[in-house]
Amino acid sequence: MIRPEEIKMSAEETGKWGMVIDQDICTGCQACVAACAMENNITFVGEVDSGYGRSMHWIRIERFWEGEYPEVKMTPQQPMMCQQCGHANCEPVCPAFATVHSQAEQLNLQVYNRCVGTRYCANNCPYQVRAFNWRDYQRPEPLQNQFNPDVTVRRMGVMEKCTFCIQRIHKAQDTAKSEGREVRDGEFTTACAQACPANAIVFGRVDQPESLVSQLKHRRHGVKHLEELGTLPNVTYIKGG
Amino acid sequence: MAEKVDLLAVFPDLEPAANAVERLRALGVHDDRMNVISGVPVTEAMLGRAPQWTNVPRIAMGGAILGFGVGVFLAYIAPFLYPYPIQVSTQGFVPGPPTAVVLFEMTMLGMLLSTFLGVFLESFFPNYRPMKYLPEISDGKIVVFFECAYAEENKITDALKKLGAESVRPAEAQPL
Amino acid sequence: MSDKQHHAEHSHEEHLREKHLMLDPLPRGKMNEMVMEAMLAKPTWKWWLVFSILAAIVAYGLFYKWGILIMKGQGEAGVMRPDYWGIFLVNTVFWIGISHAGTFISAILRVFKAEFRRPFTRAAELMTTFGLVQAGFSVFMHMGRVWLAYWLFPYPNQRMMWPNLHSPLTWDLLAITTYLLSSTMYLFLPLIPDLAMARDRSTGWRKNFYKILALGFRGTEGEWTHLRHAMNIFAFAIIPVMFSVHTIVSWDFAAATRPGWNSTIFGPYFVIGALHSGMGAAIAVLAVIRGTMKNMSYFIRGEHFDAVGKLMLIISMGWAYFFFNDYMVQWYGGDKWTQQLLHFHEAGPMGWMWFAMLVCNIVVPWAILWNPKWRATPWLVATVGLIINVGMWFERYIIIPVSVTINRMPFTWKLYKPGIEVPMSIGTVALFILLYMIASKLIPLIPVWEVQEGQMAHEFKKFGRETVVTVSELE
């Protein structure tokens, strides 16, 4: 028999890598969006498609207005990216195993080459953070020279999403391994966190209590988005702290 | 050795055909030497003949078991065949309830495919050799094909004509 | 018995005969002739005109546009975030729904020995197969990389992958494949004796065509026995397959974590919806066959429209019941996103479609089909059938692209505008009709032997002063 208190619903047990986003200090400058696009070889969609809802970003800054005119108030900027759920909705619904759970890194992987483009994962993502390659978009000269060689270039018809810059994770792990040590907290970070001028994004190990990300997450009242769905997200938002 | 002859008798209706079968049997033509061909499914019971043996239900059952086996393979064995099983969400490598869906569909597919195949096997389809047949059969005539001793041909012909046969004549295999 | 009484008796019988095909037998040869004549009738210029228009639509709308879609990507269609699923999946669900009527008529009615089914089982079964062809096309149109669609089938491969059995889409693939194969086989089995009939009465290339397809069927006791057993197995086994197919289609939605979709009633709601549109399409097809082909007014009569009309009315009531059930519980749940969605359905930009759906699916059928006289009027019932199909298409449109507009991330809310889907959808409709037109020239649309079997089983019997119709079971 399982007693009710034995059923664990919190994310504490799951997850390895995590992120804390401080909405109080986020200025909405979009530096993270640009850095992410550069780091991860994200294509340029152009204004027509972007305006229609096909913008291709792995991270987006959400901004809302509260109240009725003229009493309008802006809510804090809300950077939104893949929450790297511990219990991800996107994973089981893919017929081709194109999005799977990494047992080693506790991340949601997207395997571009397996994707056949049914778009079920994107539909089932409560955070709506997956981006689909609706077309083969042009990459104007000389932008082809800035491809990041560590990241696959995706073509038309496949789904993609934030990977927590897994190429950086692996690079740091390889370096640490060759030097015979563990990866140190703060040794590397994701492109978005690196680019943030306000240091609103902090990335690190959530399974190590002494790491900055764990301390931030516990110190102030962090919120996880749509936690009530049981998705066990690994991104914590701090607001009104 | 007694000379045998192949004959056919054309009947307009079920009743005289059934009578004819009975009469033929009385005249010493064995049931195995008779074959009734009709354009509607006339059952053996209507003709007063022994029930036909069919293996279609058995073949279907065999196919169902085979299909179930394929389902078991897909649901329980296939996920572990390759070097590492794939984890999705927090679900197990073998999902619980969805396996029922796979087992059901594969069982049904196996059963229906084998039923279809069973008809082919049991009826020796496709078969394009010349066979004893009359095109009038698909117009609703019932034709009794039978084999009798050469000596009895006239006697049997008369008897069948009396029972309402439209014609009694030698049967020949012909291209359909 | 006085002359007058006798006369009344006689005209009562005459009246029944006129009404019911099963009581109005013709010699088999005559019926064969009529069916063959209908099939072999030389196509008129009108036929060729319709044929060429449809062929042009298929060539342009379906194949040319599909080529464009494959070349340029899904961006040609109206899909975007959050409407990742659009009209292609609306069409998939719609066509699978259409296909359900064929099985309903030829399997469920066969199992329950509903005699009125006999003349149109084949036309209905054709609808299953042709509908599933369109559904298959639609689902492949939807895929981002359709050239890799074979990856979804289970086979040992170098990628060292089996399809993901956790995914409702994989169940769908298995179920639809099973359904397509079994309904095609179920179409073919009862066709064999009619192909033999056509073989016996044709010449030239048709002779060879039917000879090959009839497989050497003669009609021996053994052949009939095997066929009868097989058809019996099919009739029973294909019913759960049919239910499973649309239930699994509904799980594609119900298994998702989305407001409006995550509903436990979706399975039966989709099945009844499928029958609703399917019966509507079947009756329209019957009306067209009756109206355009020779001799068909003998085989397809007012009684058939009346009987199917009754079924349509009952199914419409069933649909209303499930719809209300789904709506009621979602409304009562009070989840804020579901509330938003329900409000968006009714008062959003697509609100007109939501109300039109209710009018087409409930108001129109209920207003017309209650009346036996109207029900027996082919063009009227066929019109109701087409209206129901419009309503059911709207229903699927509301469930898919309209509902996915509202999700739990209000930042992404956006209304879907169809693009290349429009000509391609018209292309699937054209292909469906085109396949029917070709089939009507190639295979006997009326299962003559089944009609004759039914006519043999029916007779008049006197109970006291009343002449009634009795049916005996021949099997």
**Nearest residue on chain A to B79, alpha-carbon basis:** A97
Checking if the pLDDT of A14 tops 70, the result is no
User: Would you say residue B2 has pLDDT above 70?
Assistant: no
**Residue C232 pLDDT grade (very low, low, confident, very high; cuts 50, 70, 90):** very high
Beta-carbon contacts of C348 under 8 Å, excluding residues fewer than 6 positions away, are C402, C405, C415
Does B89 reach chain A within 8 Å, measured CB to CB? yes
CA distance B134 to B38: 10
Whether C391 is in a domain gets the answer yes
**Are B128 and C211 inside 8 Å of each other by CB?**
yes
Does any domain span residue C328? yes
Encode pLDDT of C290-321 as tens digits: 999 999 999 999 999 999 999 999 999 999 99
Contact B86 A86 (CB under 8 A): no
The DSSP output letter for A104 is T
Residue from B40, B58, B74, B136 whose CB has the most chain C CBs within 10 Å, to mutate: B40
pLDDT digits (tens, 9 = 90+) for B149-172: 888 888 899 999 999 899 998 988
C180 within a domain of the structure (yes/no):
yes
Residue C3: per-residue pLDDT: 66
CB pairs under 8 A between B and C: 191
Touching check for A200 and chain B: CB below 8 Å? no
* pLDDT(B1) > 50: no
Note whether residue C21 is domain-resident.
Answer: no
Beta pairing partners, C458? C471
Q: With 90 as the cut, is the pLDDT of residue B107 above it?
A: yes
ipTM field: 0.94
Which among B40, B135, B43, B42 has a CA at the least distance from the CA of C448? B40
A103, closest residue in chain B (CA to CA): B87
Q: Report the pLDDT value the prediction gives residue B105, as an integer from 0 to 100.
A: 96
Surface of C (202-221) touching A: CB under 8 A: none
| Nearest-CA distance B11 → chain C (Å) | 14
Tell me the average pLDDT across C158-171. 91
The domain spans of chain A are 4-238
Considering only CB atoms, which chain B residues are within 8 Å of C196?
138, 176
Query: What does the angle CA C262 – CA C267 – CA C272 come to, to the nearest 5 degrees?
Result: 130
Does position C159 have pLDDT exceeding 90, yes or no? Answer: no
pLDDT (tens digit per residue) in A201-214: 999 998 888 899 98
Q: What is the reported pLDDT for C475?
A: 65
Paired strand residues for A132? A159
CB contact under 8 A, C166 and B139: no
Which pLDDT does position B117 carry in this prediction?
A: 96
Highest mean pLDDT among A11-25, A51-65, C351-365, C455-469: C351-365
Q: Which pLDDT score, from 0 to 100, does residue C465 have? A: 83
Asked if residue A15 has pLDDT above 90, the reply is no
Q: Which of C11-20, C51-60, C419-428 has the lowest mean pLDDT?
A: C11-20
- Rounded distance, CA B92 to CA B80, Å? 12
Which of the other chains make 3 or more beta carbon contacts under 8 angstroms with chain C? A, B
Q: Does the distance separating the beta carbons of A116 and C148 come in below 8 Å? A: yes
C7 inside domain: no
Q: Measured between alpha carbons, how far is residue A237 from residues A129, A201, C39, C77 in Å? A: 16, 9, 71, 36
User: Does residue C8 form part of some domain?
Assistant: no
- Domains within chain B, CATH numbers bracketed: 4-51+128-174 (3.30.70.260), 56-122 (no CATH)
Total domains present in chain C = 1
Name the band, by pLDDT with cuts 50, 70 and 90, for residue C2: low
Structure tokens at C362: 């409930």
Nearest CA in chain B to C447: B40
Residue A95 to residue C169, Cβ atoms within 8 A: yes
pLDDT of A2 reads 54
What is the rounded (10 degree) CA torsion for C318, C108, C123, C282?
0
Q: Over chain C, what is the mean pLDDT?
A: 93
Residue C19: C-alpha distances to residues A140, C22, C297, C312 (Å)? 74, 9, 11, 20
> What does residue B143 show for φ and ψ, rounded to 5 degrees?
-115, 130
Confidence of residue A5 (pLDDT cuts 50, 70, 90): low
User: Chain A residue closest to B95 (CA)?
Assistant: A92
The first and second tokens of residue C3, run together, are 């002359």
Using CB atoms, which residue from C175, C217, C223 is nearest to B105?
C175
C417 vs C86: CA distance, rounded Å: 9
**Amino acid identity for residue C344 in this structure:** F
User: Which of A87, A97, A99 is facing B90, going by the closest CB pair?
Assistant: A87
Q: Which of helix, strand or coil describes residue A78?
A: strand
On whether any CB of chain A is under 8 Å from the CB of B101, the answer is no
pLDDT in tens, A216-229: 887 667 889 998 89
CA angle B79, B80, B84 (to 5 degrees): 100
| pLDDT at residue C139 in the model | 95
Residues of chain A in contact with residue B88, where contact means CB-CB under 8 angstroms, are: 88, 91-92, 94, 97, 99-101
Chains linked to A by 3 or more Cβ pairs within 8 Å = B, C
Architecture of the domain whose range is A4-238: 2-Layer Sandwich (3.30)
Three-state SS string over chain B comes to CCCEEEEEEEECCHHHHHHHHHHHHHCCCCHHHEEEECCCCCCHHHHCCCCCCCCHHHHHHHHHHHHHHHHHHHHHHHHHCCCCCCCCCCCCCCCHHHHHHHHHHHHHHHHHHHHHHHHHHHCCCCCCCCEECCHHHHHCCEEEEEEEEHHHHHHHHHHHHHCCCCEEEECCEECC
Residue C5: the pLDDT is 67
**Do residue C143 and residue A126 have CB atoms under 8 angstroms apart?**
no
- What is the reported pTM? 0.94
Contact B90 A89 (CB under 8 A): no
Asked if C221's CB is within 8 angstroms of B52's CB, the reply is yes
How big is chain C, counted in residues? 475
**Among the listed residues C120, C210, C450, C28, the one whose alpha carbon sits nearest the alpha carbon of residue B138:** C28
What type of residue is A78? Q
Ranking A101-105, C223-227, C251-255 by mean pLDDT, the lowest is A101-105
Q: Looking at the domain assignment, is residue C132 inside a domain?
A: yes
Q: Specify the pLDDT at position A241.
A: 66
Query: Are residues B125 and C165, on separate chains, in Cβ contact within 8 Å?
Result: no
pLDDT of B172 reads: 85
What is the longest distance spanned by two Cα atoms in chain C? Answer: 87
In a domain, C15, yes or no: no
- B95/A91 Cβ within 8 A: no
Query: Distance (Å, rounded) from C-alpha C276 to C-alpha C279?
Result: 6
pLDDT digits (tens, 9 = 90+) for C179-206: 999 999 999 999 999 999 999 999 999 9
Contact status, residue A130 vs residue A159, Cβ threshold 8 Å: yes
Residues of chain B with pLDDT > 90, as a percent, come to 47
